[in-house]
Structure 1
């Protein structure tokens, strides 16, 4: 019996690629280039399973290609707003993701960005590298305290709760969160967390605001000129969620005008083609989508995709099915 044909849209950790190759007829993206719409259409026509990443784009136009062979999209990542789920369901395509395994690494990056933005870490690094540091003085590069400050979390899922634990237990931060319904009472008690019903109630109280909501139409530009104006002028915005949750133009304007103190970003609208004005801002800390980028986490993500494919091809219940 021929092995199922599987396409990986990008390179994965070598150990997971090897496991995939032992089980399936796998095509690797040897030069690791982003696949075009036409390449994805061809993949859907020629493979039993296609494994996209969170930075690929699979709109209805691609998914509706004629003569489809593919039956399952094994997404490498938790987020899936890059896939038109309604179109996938209409086409009978199964979609899976990789929840649970990237919680701590992404929360670590969120805390890294918070600390870098608060203490002007990226700006200081650039100063030293440029040979422009003239030495210590009492008023040089003064910044914001983190210990004891108030952290507001927009969304309160696994990653947000992991960040809250690091912030509360490690830095004594006061935790506020925005969620449609109250969180698990045990978590609330552990973190002494307080729920806010609206952004309007949350934002003015926070020294730091960290975004942990899904992307998509419902949250597109949730952070915009109006909501940025609700933040303290001393506050910092952290985004490790999805780029389109933030209106880039509005954020750049707020940073230029010092209407907020800083921003720490790991994701961007239209990435990797980000608005070049971000590069001119000393009060913006910019990372290249590193949230889950540890060896252990990316390996675990690949293993999750493998588990989902194994379940599908053996006719068992698929553990991480979202469509």
Structure 2
């Protein structure tokens, strides 16, 4: 009985060895993960796989059938990176860590990670990428208008609790502007503030390039609910136009003052001339009027007034 049991165990070991050898030879087979890894679009994939690899062994990550054209990254060292894909070997824990950054729908599918010469693996696993928003609603106002240079705050009418995931993203959430589980959070010009079972998102210092579609969302038990809306940013009064307006107003004020001053000087000049003429008149008024009639040089003598003694002396 013991003999048959030992034979059975040896057969299992032999089959496992053959299976592993074949997998290591062509890299197409491996130990399949029982459950797929389900990730959201935009999330990063990070997962360790147990290996016992000799130093200098080839480490690789490939897709589909693991043919030459399917290899996304490989190395004979401890770490390699190609685009969004990274593999690194942790010799302390004897694990190969696979990293895929910012998952997209095209990243969905089967992968194989392996190390040549390892007694474990290779491992085949599946990644499923689902959309960020499982359910999308529209707010009370689908279009929100704002002025360039100002701020805009929009209420996300999504029931949420303080510790729920809260995020704000552009269009189809290809780019996350802010993603948090906190009550308040800020990232660059974007702010999230929680209150009254919902939260508000704010964009500060708006520019015309901020115009477009956005989504705010709440994550609850692996299900994301989102609210979609549009923001239009119109031109406002910038700094330069204000400065130009002030300069124009100042110039107008200066011109008015100059014209007023000039007019005042003219009036003073006229009044001064008038005063001078008025001052000349009293000078001539003090003088006797010049007569045009010439009085005779010789006055007529009255015969009665002649002293006869004068004639008597003359006669003598």
Provide the TM-score with structure 2 as the length reference: 0.18
Q: Which has the higher contact order (CA 8 A, sep 6+)?
A: 1
Provide the TM-score with structure 1 as the length reference: 0.18
Please identify the structure whose Cα radius of gyration is greater: 2
